[in-house]
Amino acid sequence: MGSEKGLRKTFKEWDEGPVAKTLAKFPERKEQFETLSGIPVDRLYGPSEKALMEYEQELCFPGMFPFTRGVQPTMYRGRFWTMRQYSGFATAKETNERFKFLLNQGQTGLSIAFDLPTQIGYDSDNPLAQGEVGKVGVAINSLADMELLFDGIPLDKVSTSMTINAPAAILLAMYIAVGEKQGVPMNKLRGTIQNDILKEYVARGTFIHGPKESMRLITDTFKFCSENMPLWNTISISGYHIREAGSTAVQEVAFTLANGIAYVDAAIKVGLDVDSFASRLSFFFGSHSDFFEEIAKFRAARRLWAKIMHDRFGAKDDSSCRMRFHTQTAGCTLTAQQPDNNVVRVTLQALQGVLGGTQSLHTNSRDEALSLPTEQSVQIALRTQQIIAYETGVGDTIDPLAGSYFIEHLTDEVEKRAMEYIIKIDDLGGAPAAIEKGFIQREINDSAYEFQQAIDNSTRVVVGLNKFTVEEEQQFDYLRVDPAVEAEQIGRLQEMREERDQAAVEKTLEALRSAAESDSNLMPLILDAVKAYATLGEMCGVLREVFGEYRAPDIL
Amino acid sequence: MSSSKKIRVLVAKPGLDGHDRGAKIVARALRDAGMEVIYTGLRQTPEMIVEAAISEDVNVIGLSILSGAHNALFPKIMELLKAEGGDNILVIGGGIIPHDDVPALKAVGIAEVFGPGTPLADIVGYIESNVKL
């Protein structure tokens, strides 16, 4: 391994294999890349003749195992990452307008934020939804809302990511149904459902059922999609929320990959072949404030996942080992003080994601420590990505920081330390058992508390917060969700209920109930109920009755 | 009041919001400052919070909300608390709460609202100076 001759040979294989194949399908953005002073920029820079040890095994070439240097042979020389701003508020109609605004501004993918009642499986008129309708995202009660949400947006032209977990199967079914109405069959739909319940128990809180029943819903979607939706990402295994809850970078990688292992285990246990679903697993990470550690983290996560899939699960296809991920800049690093400074933070964090080889990116808006972002703030956030992409040239060669002593060292360290955690979690019986025992929660809580103490005693500097502070009046243009939205949404929901064929709804809900009581795949039955305009709350209500509800242990 | 009596605090997460990093950190800081802390966990209705506050005989309630539902839920909690005779309880709030909303929350009896970036010591100090034991 790693001999000069071996490496030259692998380089040739890479150049004539994956690169040539990719170029034939997706030509690069330019014939030739060069710097501002006219120096040509090659696709890739490799180790000097002297530094070949272990190169092939630990780094290798982009698009080749273990993918440390990136998942595609040409990366951003072909196409920039997908610029995908997470958005959604108020009603489907208002969010539809925001989507169209973002697409007109050059955004290249959609990402839906749902309100909390939707995420927890309640219709807008449920008493528990009071005060929450349309607040942190858009309220979607039935297919009727979903049709409005995508009105005038052709689903064969966009890819859509949905931050939805407990009721992910239901929202996916609604998306399929909208596609059908537009004449786009489900095998042409591109996008992602988050569908990652394990991190909800430790970090995000929008679970409905217990782990066992939730895992069944997840493996049902894996199976359904592996047969019907070859372009769909069936899960986005998310470290972002673990990080936002306070974990370190190492813990973020470790706990996310441990959850990933649990999903692969569960799918194999219900009889799926690992190579039939693994290529559609996707990931989601945060980009926090430690510049080099974050870049190393992305590279380490890619390499570690590749090794896990190959060594632990015996995946045969390279595509099963290839970690594709979305990145979001870290919301928890935004300050309410001197909020314009957040634009600079977001710029650096976005750059980290790009230097780490992300497939898509959300840049936070400067005002998110205060409220939902205004249209103007969202525009600056999107422009930040566009400036990085179109003006800086960082995408003109692949993985430009590779070979830096520091970056490679940090990459090795993050991988090693994350693996130590994964072994510990294995010893506890895997991620679900470690969550049940409160191990992962306690680890995150301890890190969060230490971080806060470091800010409070100023050993960690946050500019504008504990150093370089100013007296300021908070004057900001907030985005307000009109309280009338709740009543309006409820009014439309009740109208829809009166107009639909009630007998058809009841029939499909009964079918869903008996399927839930058996072992059959729930996806087709959910799809039937969705098409009959059964509401999200009604479907989740049936599943709540059969599966029960989870009560999280309160761990400080 | 004897200074040896421990301040009892209920840290509560009203509504459907799952962001509990702040609530947990505050709970821990108050405990480290010598207070007795009860944390409700997620998804508490106003009724559940008030019932817990009364039955646990707390001196302070800390409400944390980041979902934007504070204008609906905080007044409801204050109303129920009054009806249950909990007027003596010091109620404070925190989370993502726009400045413009604070006067109305104070008008219904929320004593103080702590936004992002508040040092933990400020919250501890505020409780120690304002609690009625």
Q: Of B24, B80, B100, which to mutate for an interface test with A (greatest number of A Cβ within 10 Å)?
A: B24
Lowest-pLDDT range of A8-17, A206-215, A250-259, B29-38: A8-17
Which of B15, B99, B119 lies nearest to residue A132, judging by beta carbons?
B15
CATH of the domain at A174: 3.20.20.240
pLDDT, residue A4, reads 58
What's the rounded Cα separation, in Å, for the pair A80 and A359? 8
Instruction: Express each pLDDT in A541-554 by its tens digit.
Output: 999 999 999 988 77
Instruction: Express each pLDDT in A430-445 by its tens digit.
Output: 999 999 999 999 999 9
Question: Is-cis flag, bond preceding A66, omega within 30?
Answer: yes
pLDDT, residue A473, reads 75
Chain A nearest C-alpha distance from B59 (Å):
20
What's the rounded Cα separation, in Å, for the pair A408 and A152? 47
pLDDT, residue A266, reads 96
pLDDT, residue A431, reads 97
**What per-residue string of b and e applies to A188-225 under the rule 16 or more CB within 10 Å gives b?**
ebbbbbbbbbbbbbbbbbbbbbbbebbbbbbbbbbbbb
Q: Above 50 in pLDDT, residue A523? A: yes
Q: Is A496 on the interface with B (CB under 8 A)?
A: no
Whether residue A179 is contained in a domain is answered as yes
Q: Of A444, A452, A475, which to mutate for an interface test with B (greatest number of B Cβ within 10 Å)?
A: A452
Chain B residue whose CA is closest to A204: B18
* Percent of chain A at pLDDT exceeding 70: 98
Q: Which residues pair with A34 in a beta bridge?
A: A40
What's the rounded Cα separation, in Å, for the pair A431 and A214? 14
What's the rounded Cα separation, in Å, for the pair A211 and A429? 14
Question: Domains in chain A: how many in total?
Answer: 1
Nearest to A147 by CA among A544, A492, A512: A492
Nearest to B61 by CA among B76, B78, B73: B78
ipTM of the complex as predicted:
0.94
pLDDT band at A532 (very low <50, low <70, confident <90, very high): very high
Instruction: Express each pLDDT in B82-115 by its tens digit.
Output: 999 999 999 999 999 998 999 999 999 999 999 9
What's the rounded Cα separation, in Å, for the pair B47 and A144? 33
The boundaries of the domain holding residue A426 are 75-456
Whether residue A273 is contained in a domain is answered as yes
DSSP structure string for A178-205: HHHHHT--GGG-EEEE----HHIIIII-
Whether residue A25 is contained in a domain is answered as no
In the 8-state DSSP scheme, what is residue B83?
H
Q: Which residues of B touch A128 (CB under 8 A)?
A: 16, 43, 45
Cβ-defined contact of B115 to A336 (cutoff 8 Å): yes
Q: Above 90 in pLDDT, residue A1? A: no
Q: Which of residues 76-95 of B touch A (CB under 8 A)?
A: none
Phi and psi for A292 in degrees, rounded to 5?
-75, -35
Q: Name the average pLDDT for chain A.
A: 95
Instruction: Express each pLDDT in B19-65 by its tens digit.
Output: 999 999 999 999 999 999 999 999 999 999 999 999 999 999 999 99
Which of B27, B42, B116 lies nearest to residue A552, judging by beta carbons?
B42
What's the rounded Cα separation, in Å, for the pair A94 and A89? 7
Whether residue A237 is contained in a domain is answered as yes
Cβ-defined contact of B24 to A371 (cutoff 8 Å): no
pLDDT band at B3 (very low <50, low <70, confident <90, very high): low
Question: Which carries the bigger pLDDT value, residue B78 or residue B2?
Answer: B78
Chain A nearest C-alpha distance from B38 (Å):
10
Instruction: Express each pLDDT in A262-318 by its tens digit.
Output: 999 999 999 999 999 999 999 999 999 999 999 999 999 999 999 999 999 999 999
Domains of chain B, start order: 8-128 (3.40.50.280)
pLDDT band at B2 (very low <50, low <70, confident <90, very high): very low
Which of B42, B73, B116 lies nearest to residue A131, judging by beta carbons?
B73
Q: Above 90 in pLDDT, residue A6? A: no
Q: Above 80 in pLDDT, residue B1? A: no
Q: Tokens at residue A449, please?
A: 């508390």
What's the rounded Cα separation, in Å, for the pair A204 and A197? 9
Question: What would the mean pLDDT of A180-187 be, rounded to a whole number?
Answer: 98
In the 8-state DSSP scheme, what is residue A44?
B
Q: Tokens at residue A20, please?
A: 């040539």
Q: Is B100 on the interface with A (CB under 8 A)?
A: yes
Q: Is A132 on the interface with B (CB under 8 A)?
A: yes
How far, CA to CA in Å, does B35 sit from each of A11, A335, B5, B6, B30?
64, 28, 9, 6, 6
Other beta carbons less than 10 A from residue B32's beta carbon: 13
Instruction: Express each pLDDT in A384-407 by its tens digit.
Output: 999 999 999 999 999 999 999 999
Q: Above 90 in pLDDT, residue A5? A: no
pLDDT, residue A545, reads 98
DSSP structure string for A473-531: ------B---THHHHHHHHHHHHHHHHS-HHHHHHHHHHHHHHHHSSS-SHHHHHHHHH
Q: Tokens at residue A244, please?
A: 């936002």
- Are A479 and B100 in contact by the 8 Å Cβ rule? The answer is no
Q: Where are the alpha helices (DSSP H) in A404-483?
A: 405-427, 431-436, 439-456
Phi and psi for A360 in degrees, rounded to 5?
-155, 165
Q: Is B48 on the interface with A (CB under 8 A)?
A: no
Instruction: Express each pLDDT in A221-278 by its tens digit.
Output: 999 999 999 999 999 999 999 999 999 999 999 999 999 999 999 999 999 999 999 9
Q: Taking CB atoms and an 8 Å cut-off, how many pairs form between chains A and B? A: 106
pLDDT, residue A49, reads 64
Packing angle between helix A502-517 and helix A536-547, nearest 10 degrees?
Answer: 30
- Are A397 and A77 in contact by the 8 Å Cβ rule? The answer is yes
Whether residue A174 is contained in a domain is answered as yes
Whether residue A55 is contained in a domain is answered as no
Packing angle between helix A523-531 and helix A536-547, nearest 10 degrees?
Answer: 140
pLDDT, residue A328, reads 98
pLDDT, residue A355, reads 98
